[in-house]
Structure formats: structure tokens, C-alpha cells
Amino acid sequence: MKKKPSICIVGGGLAGLTNAILLSRAGFSVTLVERKAYPFHKVCGEYVSNEVLPFFRKLGVEPEELGASSISKLMLSSVSGRTLSCPLNLGGFGLSRFKLDYSLYKKALEEGVHFIESAKVNDVWYGGKVFEINIGGSELEADIVIGSFGKRSNLDQRLMRGFFYKRSPYMGVKYFVRGDFLPDTIHLDNFDGGYCGFNKIEEDLFCLCYLTENRHLRTYGSIPAMEQEVLMKNPALKRLFEKAEFVWERPESINEVAFERKSLVDRHILMCGDTAGMIAPLCGNGMAMAIRSAKILSGHIINLCKEGIDETIRVQLEQEYTRSWHREFAFRLKVGRGIQRLFGKPMLSELVLSTMRSVPSAVPALVSMTHGKPF
């Protein structure tokens, strides 16, 4: 009887953990390497579309039991502070990555996943039959490697992925705050060169996360000064910042946030989540898309590799995963990138908001194009 291939997953965010749970549950030997120790915070908007709920219930994960908020409305504001609100037909929930990822981590442990935490993967090399993974000086072998190591990593450079060598003008900043805010509403507030997402998560906490052009930080020298001189030019954001009680002394931040297209397969490593280009600017749905991408990838591995893997099966796996990924996500990401170009620019954001106010059906139509169906 042939043996199921061993699998190494590099990176333990939503895509990595989802792959790990599903593949271990299907009887594969799974090792997940994560450079941090659970639980930990990540720069993320922390809004999840309800499209994931049927899948989460099959996993045995109940967001309500973790204290997730229920989100049913969207409010947009232009750079000048003009606002527009509409219902979210499918709706979503707010939950911190600290809690959600830790819940999935514990579920993966229950399923028998082997974790190597606080460890950095220095290199991954495919020798024709198996992968050699260098982890802090030690070596690990695996038949299949899944890359889910986030938006930007030393491995991207090691693999000479094209996007890594193109400077990105964007940085992300995230806070936890408290205050008297609408618990059922996700805000997307524009400012010159970026936008801010704001929504309730668990307990009495709200996630405030924004994307901005690096030029503002260079101009004003610090994050607080940049926020004062750029973000708070939007009166809606100014009110939010002034009302908020900031829980953290310093925010989480990430530089060089790239929106470049990324390869799905690189040197036979199967890329998933943000590593595959899952960032969905202004879609507010990147978390659901990362989870969905992992379900797709693990499904192909389970179907094709239950009796082992050879070069023919490997090629078939890579081709089928690529086709499925594009069928599911290519259009949604294209729409998201188009919306991104319209926002963060003072004149365009005003024009877009005015158009949406005069055509009330426009916002729900755009939201539906960037969100998937329940799976």
C-alpha cells in the first residue's frame, strides 16, 4: 500500500492553519513551522465575511463562542468626511487574529499537527523527489511544501519572487481601541493616500487598521504626527481618533505591503493565502479569502495524493490548484484592485461617493463582487 506524502507548511496564519487541520484530519503527516509563538497579533482588519460560517462549523469553530461581534452595516467616508451607509446583505463578524488564529492552532493540535514554533525557515529546496527545508540550521524533509508565510518574507527573497524586488509605497498600521461606537458597523474612511478600516471585535474592543503611503511617514517623521496631519483631515476619522481610548501604547505595523500579483506555484512550493496574492485591497474580505484558498488547496491534495505523489501527480496538482484558484479569486481581486485605485485620492473619493449616493444600488453591487458565496 502506498504511503500518503508528508507535508510541511511554512507559516501559521489563517491559510496555513486551515490547510494543517484539513490535511491532518485526512490522515496526512503535517508539520507546520511558524516564526512566532502562539498566540500573537497580526496587522489585519479583523473583519470576516459570513461566507466562512458553514465551513467553520464543520471544523468545530464557533466565532460566537469566541466572542465575535456581528456586523451588518457598511459606512464609507470620503476624504472630506462625507459619509454613505448601506446594509451588508451577507454580513460578517469581527474577531481578532489573536483569538481566531489561536483557536485554529488549538484545533490543529487536536488533529495531530506537529508544530515547530519560534523558528525561521531559511531556505526550501526541491531535489527532484523531496523537499529539504532548512529551519534555523536543522534540516527537515517533506514530500509537499505549502507556503503560507504572509505578505512579505525572507523566503520571497530567497526564492527570487519578482514582486519582492519592486518597492511598495504602502504600510499598514493597527490599533485596538475602546469607545462608544456602533458595534454592528464596519467603517471604511478615506484620507489622502490611504484608507482606514474600523470595526468591533471581541469583548469591548474595536480594531482600527489603516493602509497609508510611506511618503507621509517620511514627511512627518512619526506615526502620531502622520495621523494628525493626514488621517485627521477627514473629519470622520478625526472624531474617531478623538473619541477612542487606545489600548496599546504603540501600534502594530508592517512596511512594504505589496499588491503585486504573485505566483501560485514557485519551485513546486504551493502558495496559499497572502503568499499567493490574497490581499484584497478595500474588499475587507482577505481573511475569508485566505481560508477559502486553503480549503481549495487541501482539497486537491487530499483528492490526488491519498496514495502517494510522483512527478505526474505533482504536475497535475499544481495545474488543478492554479485553475481552481483563478476561477474562484481572479475576478474578485481584479475588482478590489480597481476600487483601490479610486480611493485614497481626494477628488476621486469625493466623485465616487457622490456617484454612489445618487445610485444606492451601486454599493451592494460592489460588495457582492468582492465577496464569495457561503462554502
pLDDT of residue 89: 86
Neighbours of 335 (CB within 10 A): 17
Domain CATH for 284: 3.50.50.60
Q: Is-contact 190 78, C-beta < 8 A?
A: yes
Inside any domain, residue 317: yes
For residues 202 and 70, give the distance between their C-alpha atoms in angstroms, rounded to a whole number. Answer: 10
Inside any domain, residue 291: yes
> CA Rg, the chain, in Å?
21
For residues 97 and 40, give the distance between their C-alpha atoms in angstroms, rounded to a whole number. Answer: 8
Per-residue DSSP letter, 249? S
pLDDT confidence tier of residue 107, bands split at 50, 70 and 90 = very high
pLDDT surpassing 70 at residue 282: no
Q: Name the domain count of the chain.
A: 1
Neighbours of 75 (CB within 10 A): 16
Instruction: Report CA torsion sign: 289, 291, 294, 299.
Output: negative
For residues 111 and 178, give the distance between their C-alpha atoms in angstroms, rounded to a whole number. Answer: 36
Put simply, whether the predicted model's pTM sits higher than 0.85 gets the answer yes
pLDDT surpassing 60 at residue 284: no
Inside any domain, residue 314: yes
What rounded mean pLDDT belongs to the chain?
91
Q: Is-contact 272 19, C-beta < 8 A?
A: yes
Q: Is-contact 309 144, C-beta < 8 A?
A: yes
Inside any domain, residue 1: no
For residues 266 and 34, give the distance between their C-alpha atoms in angstroms, rounded to a whole number. Answer: 20
- Residue range 220-234: average pLDDT? 96
Q: What is the pLDDT of residues 248-281, one digit of tens each?
A: 989 999 987 777 778 999 999 999 998 998 665 5
Inside any domain, residue 21: yes
Inside any domain, residue 152: yes
pLDDT of residue 1: 46
Name the residue range of residue 349's domain: 7-167+257-370
Inside any domain, residue 226: no
Inside any domain, residue 115: yes
